[in-house]
Structure 1
Amino acid sequence: MISKITFYALIVACVLFNTEMILAQDANASSITIKGTVIEEISGQPVAFATVMVADNDTKKPISGTTTLDDGSFSLETDATNFYIEISFIGFQKRTFGQPVAKTSTIDLGKVALAEDAEQLQEVVVQGEESRTEFKLDKRVFNVGKDLSSTGASALEVLNNVPSVNVNIEGQISLRGSQGVQVLINGKPSVIASDGGNALGTITADMIDRVEVITNPSAKYDAEGTSGIINIVIKKEERKGLNGSISVNTGAPENHSVGISLNRRTEKFNLFSQIGVGIREYPDDIENRNVDLINNTTILTNGTEYRNENYYNFVLGTDYYINPTNVLTLSGNFALELEDQPSTTNFTALDGTNTTTSQWDRNEVTEATNPKLQYELQYKKDFQGNEDHTLLFSALGNFFGKDQSSDFVDSTISGEDKNSAQKTRTDFKESVFTFKLDYTRPFSKKWSMETGAQYVLNDVSNDYEVNNLVSGNFVNDPGLTNIFEYNQKVLGLYTTAAYEGEKWGIKAGARLEDTDLNTLLTNTNENNNQNYFNLFPSVHSSYKVSETLSLQAGYSKRIYRPRLWDLNPFFNIRNNFSIRQGNPNLLPEFTDSYEITSIFFVGKTSMNLGVYQRYTTDVIERVSSFENNVNTVKPLNIGTNRSTGLEFNSKYSPTNWLTLNGDLNYSQFTRNGSFDETTFDFSADQWSSKLMAKFKLPADIDFETTGNFQSSYQTVQSEVSENLFLDMGLRKKLFKGKAVLNLSVRDALASRVSESQITQANYEIYNRRQRGRFLALGFSYGFGKGEAMEFSGQRRR
């Protein structure tokens, strides 16, 4: 099936040699000031960030240099006595000026007009240091060379060149084929890199020193992690410039947005902001079949569920560079979502001969107001003499609220009278506070240590009420009405020690976490208190076999704590025959994760091959119970799971107009467990793959396709069907990359269907869900040093 998927592509944008500046001083010479203004020859507009270089006449080596300001002006000093001046900018012809014969303290070049270089615009010229990847104990480091830093590309363009990392046209980041990646800036979370920010494009390639990729986090990071961590390290000296973009997007189903992103960097401040507004629509087609094999009755359900939203998003923050070794960050993100969920569900009741006994519709009108707030205060200190000697303190706060009301009306179409009405009310509030302290100390070039602490407080209140229409009046249903209080505190302490030689290194550490969890159903005074203290060790090692082959091995112990919705016993009554509810007595999962990976380079091809084994205890599985055609799904701790798998990833660029990226994951697993005298022992396997192709077409057009395949697999009760779907995208650069026109199609073949089947002795359940094809068209105009970066208006997770 994968062979039928069309290939797509992306090519590296035009690259121009950006000469490295070297300071050469003569203490006995007098200083000369060189100044002027750089403009475009045709338009007369100023050229910002053009390179002004002073070079030695004999050796042709750079002596000093600078870049032009927003108004095209520049000024620099030199003590050289035998030099020439060269002014350049990507897409324009260079201008060279010799040293004046007469000695003077000031050289005023006036207005320097640069003419467009048509040949340079059509060709890719790569000079200087190339980007490269290397292993560093528990992470892979992608060092950004001049082949990328001189292009003016965004941070997302840089990530697209990192092995195992992919960024699609919509700006979604995946690592080894999986999303849910945590992106850090200089080792710390940032509003710029958050799901709600969409502002990563305001960071340009020439600001980035390196990108660190962590697929199996050490004890330094949360024991409850994501699918991976990407850390973007910004150059200390790159603090000047204005970057931003204005974007307009539209799509079908309805998805329209307008966004403005700004990033201003000076010697002391880095100011970033974003404003976005929009509307979006998420239709979801559902189909359920509940079969009671004892009473020979069936309930068929079908309909379309909608979630329509108007949303507003505002980001504002600053990094304040107190001095070269101390930086303070203060930022905030406020978002407001106004939800409307008009949905109609059709029900049909059948008897044992498949004869319809009754039909009715259930109409829902739901409205909700969802405010979201994120804020952070961070302080980072770099100790003089070693850039890796750092102290970081951060305080982050998150708030989410939901004020929701729903009206449900059942209307009989035929057969038995099903007329009824219900009302629900939800008042939900969640606050999460995270305090973190990290200290890194290198003792030498080979030996280092890390230590730190983290304290996370999660406080939730969910006030839920159901009222039924009885004799013309709405009467409260006490069995479905309650206030659920959830409070969790996690204190973590960690330390690691590392040795890193030229070819071999090892890093070991441990993390202690104390978890205090309390849940309470206020009206009925039902509570569940859990307190557990756990040790999470980690060991990582790497070995550089050659310049083209490196190996890495690691072990870590992980935890998955039940989420709020895993614990909350109340449920949405949208479909009274298909109910999901939480389990307040749920225990956390613990996983021992072993992994051996390799990275191998052959020319322009990078290949990653890894094998892993994961052993998980107290596995959380969603188990169905069935009564009177009502299927109730509830999470339970069901035994253990041992999974052994193989991961393969390759990024291949056979030409400068084609890039291929493939991911393959295969695992074989064994499940052992029992619940209520039912045994759930079985063995099965599953595999998934993703194939991405990026093409560089004429007229500065990029085209990409992504084919995804997920095999069928077995759970403790059900069989989940295979899934194959295709995403496509087209991007046209305008005005030398300052503007971008995007067209994307998600699930182009409308084949992305979630389908599962449960077959038990007393009942059968079939579920099908499909969202269908999504089309999006966007235009973005960027200004400053980088390319345009679209505001996608994506949902915050």
Structure 2
Amino acid sequence: MNVQKGLPSLNDFGNTQKPVRYGTDVTLSYRSARWDWTLSSAYLRSDLAGRREGDANTTLGNRFTQFPSLGERSFDRYTFTNRLAVSFTPTKTDVWSGGLFYGYRTEDRTADLFYNNRRKDQQTGFGISQIAYYNANLVRKRGQFFTANLDYTHTFANKANLSASVLYEYDYLDGFTRNLNLLRTDTRDTLQYTRTTTDRPIGNVRANIDATWPLAGGRFEAGYQYRNQQDDGNYRFLEQNGRGLPLLEVSAFTGQARINNQIHSLYSQYGHKSKSLEYTAGLRVESAERQVEIRPQGQAYPLTLNNLFPSLNVVYRPKDAWQFRFGYSRRVQRTSNLALNPLPEREHSETLEQGDPALLPEFVDLSELSMTRIMGRNTVQATVYHQNIQHIVNRVNSVFADTILNRIYTNAGRAQRLGLEVTMDLTITKRWKLYVGGTVYRSIIAGQLFQNAVVFNNQAWAYSFNANTTVQPSPTWVLQANLNYLSQRITAQGEDSRFFVPNLSVKKSFVQNRLAVMLQWQNIGLGRLPTNEQRITTRGQDFYTTTNYIQERDILLINISYSLRQRSKPAKLPTNEFGDKEF
């Protein structure tokens, strides 16, 4: 059993409501010679305070419009899950296992901002108009997630394995975005009100059959997987332009997005290991079909992709203290279905967001060459790598109106990274361990946007750094600290600023490690460091926008865990595979 409680916020930015954090999870297990049952239930409330600072401008003809904003950007988050895992071993060679998962999530994102819009004539420099207003913006997302899975494994006398599994998942996502503009001098005066609603039942099926067997001193693996997903989304856009006017449906922004993904894949892999040489080579063949239909507009966007995904990993150990490795892999990275929906949503007063139904998935090629030196209990590794991403997906902006930017998901072209990564895993003393890693790479992104209206070729250096350390002054005390730092990175239209987060935890164990109390200090800022803060900037010929997202710092949490009897190994509990990604 675990219980978590958050201490009062030290930095709530003066938000309307103070963040609340608490949670609990209970796990019950029963184990016999043939049966293994595990039941888990958990609830988590994890609010997050925040602030948003923005500035944007557009140029339409001779009219220049600037609309800076400032205000609250916070999250209220609730998560409830129930999980059941059952394993049955009727014989030494057969294992049946199954699981059930139910989860419920709610997230409210509040962005209550103050805007000051100013227009001027570019030729004369004289002001045209000015208005100050308050934008109350609430995005509510809700999700219910149901998953059931059944697995079977048979082990043969020669250590070969045959396994099969089937999974069904049903997710129901709904919510709304409420965007209300009120006059600053009289908040009873509604300048504009928009409300968009979402209703998405999603069905998912996955089936696998896999086999492994010894072959020529190594091991051969092969298998087949089938996946099918049906997403039937209903989207409604309502708008009220002025006080006392009716709330009307905007038919051009209202409709249904029917998305079906069907994927067949076959794979095979062979691996062999000797004293000084180890290698694994594999190939996956994938046939994918996607259908996107937009109703009642009657638009259809079919996509068929047939691809090969090879992989190779070779490890050479000339001596016990040295290791050299070469690796290559190709994979596909699919976006969420929401990025395929072209029906717009009024995400903010200044933002109209939509997807692209013709969006292609990203194809990622990664080549690596590494050298590892082992010195007693210490390890140092250096890796040179090249990453190539075809059809990289970016969110890009264009001008929709003088105070509204159209933000859309699109394939921005090709991105490459050529870099060096160095890591050190050190045992300083018997009670002190330290891991340090860093990456420096050259980033290149090139392509075109809006049917060649914008052609770009952006290049820049970037780097990242991460470290974590564990100090154990006694068998019952553990101190852990970590730091993750990411430098500024380029995008198709601009850049994302640096981002870093330090954390610290202290843990004390009692009663032969069955009872533990831990204090966590997350997003350490000490009241002045720009921790957990990131600025996103994009620009074009007729617009500029920059937004600084400042999230809560110096979060203190107390965790208490107690175990009546510790398991020899953690239970494998079912999870949600598809719905979390769409949420």
Do Structure 1 and Structure 2 share a fold, with TM-score over 0.5?
yes
Report the Cα distance in structure 2 between the residues aligned to 1:400 and 1:307, rounded to whole angstroms. Answer: 22
| Aligned partner (choices 288, 306, 315) of residue 515 of structure 1 | 288
Q: 412, 421, 438: which is aligned to 2:193?
A: 421
- Does 2:535 match 1:755? yes
CA contact (8 A) 2:24 2:44 kept: yes
Alignment of 1:64-79 (within 5 A): none
Which of 498, 502, 517 pairs up with 1:726? 502
Structure number with bigger Rg: 1
1:460 correspondence with 2:231: yes
Deviation at 1:447, TM superposition (A): 2.9
**CA positional deviation for 1:452:** 0.6
| Matched residue type, 2:144 | P
Kindly report which structure 2 residues correspond to 1:678-693, keeping only aligned pairs within 5 A, or say none.
Answer: 678-693=454-469
Which residue of 2 is the match for residue 744 of structure 1? 520
**Is 1:704 aligned with 2:460?**
no
Instruction: Rate the CA distance shift 1:334–1:435 in 2: closer, same or farther, 3 A.
Output: same
Q: Of 558, 577, 583, which residue of structure 2 is paired with 1:777?
A: 558
Q: How far has the Cα of 1:787 moved from its partner?
A: 10
Asked whether 1:261 is paired with 2:42, we answer no
Q: For the Cα contact (< 8 Å) 1:504–1:541, is it kept in 2?
A: yes
Indicate how the Cα distance of structure 1 residues 453 and 550 shifts in structure 2: closer, same or farther if over 3 A, else same.
same
Who is 1:330 aligned against?
Answer: 98
Please say if residues 446 and 492 of structure 2, whose CA atoms lie closer than 8 Å, have aligned partners that are also in contact.
no
Out of 278, 293, 302, the residue aligned to residue 44 of structure 2 is: 278
Counterpart of 1:580 in structure 2 is 353
How far apart are the structure 1 equivalents of 2:218 and 2:63? 71
Query: For the residues of structure 2 that align with 1:404 and 1:581, how far apart are their CA atoms?
Result: 16
Q: Report the alpha carbon displacement of residue 423 of structure 1 after superposing the two structures with TM.
A: 2.9
Deviation at 1:531, TM superposition (A): 0.6
**Structure 1 position 342, deviation (Å):** 4.9
SS state at 2:157 partner = coil
Unaligned 5+ runs, structure 2: 10-18
Residue 478 of structure 1 and its aligned partner are, at CA, apart by: 0.8
Q: 1:320 to 1:372 in 2, by over 3 A?
A: same
Letter paired with 2:195: K
Q: Which residue of 2 aligns with 1:668?
A: 442
**Secondary structure of the corresponding residue to residue 252 of structure 2:** helix
SS in 2 for 1:551: strand
Q: Are 1:497 and 2:270 matched, yes or no?
A: yes
Structure 1 counterpart of 2:70: 302
Deviation at 1:365, TM superposition (A): 5.2
Contact residue 137 and residue 348 of structure 2 kept, 8 A: no
Retained in 2: the 8 A contact 1:737–1:787? no
C-alpha displacement of 1:623: 2.0
1:339: Cα distance to partner? 4.4
The answer to whether the 8 A contact 2:2-2:559 is kept is: no
User: Take 1:518 and 1:483, find their aligned partners in 2: how far apart are those partners?
Assistant: 13
Change in CA separation of 1:365 and 1:654 when aligned onto 2, cut-off 3 Å: closer
Superposition deviation, residue 611 in structure 1:
1.4
Counterpart mapping for 1:618-697 below 5 A: 618-626=391-399, 627-675=401-449, 676-697=452-473
Alignment of 1:468-617 (within 5 A): 468-469=239-240, 471-617=244-390
1:755 maps to amino acid? R
Is the Cα–Cα contact under 8 Å of residues 454 and 492 in structure 1 kept in the other structure?
Answer: yes
1:434 aligns with 2:434: no
TM-score (norm 2): 0.87
Q: Structure 1 residues 598, 436: CA separation in 2 closer, same or farther (over 3 Å shift)? A: farther
Aligned counterparts of 2:376 and 2:402: Cα–Cα separation in 1 = 64
Are residues 1:344 and 2:144 paired? no
Look up the equivalent residue of 1:772 and give its one-letter code. Answer: E
C-alpha change, 1:414 and 1:673, in structure 2 (3 Å) is same
CA distance 1:530–1:282, change in 2 (3 Å): same
Distance 1:702 1:486, change over 3 A: same
Amino acid at match of 2:118: L
Q: Aligned-pair distance for 1:682?
A: 2.8
Alignment of 1:60-459 (within 5 A): 245-251=1-7, 252=9, 253-293=19-59, 295-352=63-120, 357-364=130-137, 369-386=142-159, 389-414=160-185, 419-444=191-216, 446-459=217-230
- Contact 1:360–1:418 (8 Å) recurs in 2: no
Give me the whole-angstrom Cα distance separating, in 2, the residues matched to 1:565 and 1:396.
23
Q: In structure 2, do the counterparts of structure 1 residues 725 and 561 end up closer, same or farther at CA, with 3 Å as the change threshold?
A: closer
Counterpart residue number, 1:68: none
Counterpart of 2:89, as a letter, is Y
Q: Deviations over 1:343-368 (max 9, x none)?
A: 42222212448988211122245655
Instruction: Give the match's secondary structure for 1:783.
Output: coil
Q: How does 1:785-796 map to 2 (within 5 A)?
A: 785=566
1:380/1:651 Cα in 2 relative to 1: closer, same or farther (>3 Å)? same
* 3-state SS in 2 of match to 1:566: helix
Seen in structure 2, the aligned counterparts of structure 1 residues 538 and 787 have a Cα distance that, compared at 3 Å, is closer
Identify the residue that residue 547 of structure 2 maps to in structure 1: 767
Asked whether the equivalents of residues 402 and 428 of structure 1 are also in contact (C-alpha less than 8 Å), the reply is yes
Structure 1 residues 376 and 707 mapped into 2: Cα distance closer, same or farther (>3 Å)?
Answer: same
Alignment partners' CA distance in 2, 1:348 and 1:385: 74
Is the 8 Å Cα contact of residues 72 and 110 (structure 2) preserved in structure 1?
no
Q: Given the superposition, is the C-alpha separation of residues 424 and 761 from structure 1 closer, same or farther in structure 2, using an over 3 Å criterion? A: closer
Indicate the RMSD between aligned Cα atoms, in angstroms.
2.8
Report the Cα offset of residue 459 of structure 1.
1.2
Task: Give the drift of 1:741.
Answer: 0.8
Pairwise CA distance, 1:728: 1.3
Note closer, same or farther for the CA distance 1:432–1:284 as it changes in structure 2 (3 Å cut): farther
Q: Which runs of 5+ in 1 are unaligned?
A: 1-244
Per-residue deviation, 1:778: 1.2
> What secondary structure is seen at the aligned counterpart in 1 of 2:394?
strand
User: Would the aligned equivalents of 2:416 and 2:445 in 1 still touch at CA under 8 Å?
Assistant: yes
1:398-426, Cα deviation, whole Å (9 max, x unpaired): 22212324544322114997523333322
Deviations along 1:69-97, one digit per CA (max 9) or x if unpaired, are: xxxxxxxxxxxxxxxxxxxxxxxxxxxxx
Shift of 1:516: 0.3
What is residue 190 of structure 1 aligned with on the other side? Answer: none
Partners of 1:383 and 1:525 in 2: CA distance: 54
Contact 1:272 1:317 in 2 (8 A): yes
Encode CA deviations 1:642-679: one digit per residue, 9 max, x unaligned: 32111222211111221111121221133332232422
User: Conserved in 2, the CA contact under 8 Å of 1:488 and 1:517?
Assistant: yes
From the superposition, tell whether residues 368 and 631 of structure 1 become closer, same or farther in structure 2 (CA, over 3 Å): closer
Q: Find the residue that maps to 1:479 and give its secondary structure.
A: helix
Asked if 2 retains the 8 angstrom alpha-carbon contact of 1:520 and 1:527, the reply is: yes
Kindly indicate whether the alpha-carbon contact (under 8 Å) linking 2:4 and 2:557 is maintained by their aligned counterparts in 1.
Answer: no
| Residue deviations 1:284-317 (CA, integer Å, cap 9, x gap) | 4222211125522211222223432343211111
Paired AA for residue 762 in structure 1: D
Query: 1:613 and 1:248, CA in 2 relative to 1: closer, same or farther beyond 3 A?
Result: closer
* 1:780–1:788 CA contact under 8 A, matched in 2: no
Q: Look up the SS of the partner of 1:748 in the other structure.
A: coil
| TM-score scaled by length of structure 1 | 0.65
Please give the per-residue CA displacement for 1:138-177, whole angstroms capped at 9, x wherever unaligned: xxxxxxxxxxxxxxxxxxxxxxxxxxxxxxxxxxxxxxxx
User: CA 1:377–1:687 in 2, change beyond 3 Å: closer, same or farther?
Assistant: same
Of stretches 756-765 and 734-743 in structure 1, the one that deviates more from structure 2 is 756-765
Q: CA separation in 1, counterparts of 2:245 and 2:100?
A: 48
Letter in 2 for 1:335: G
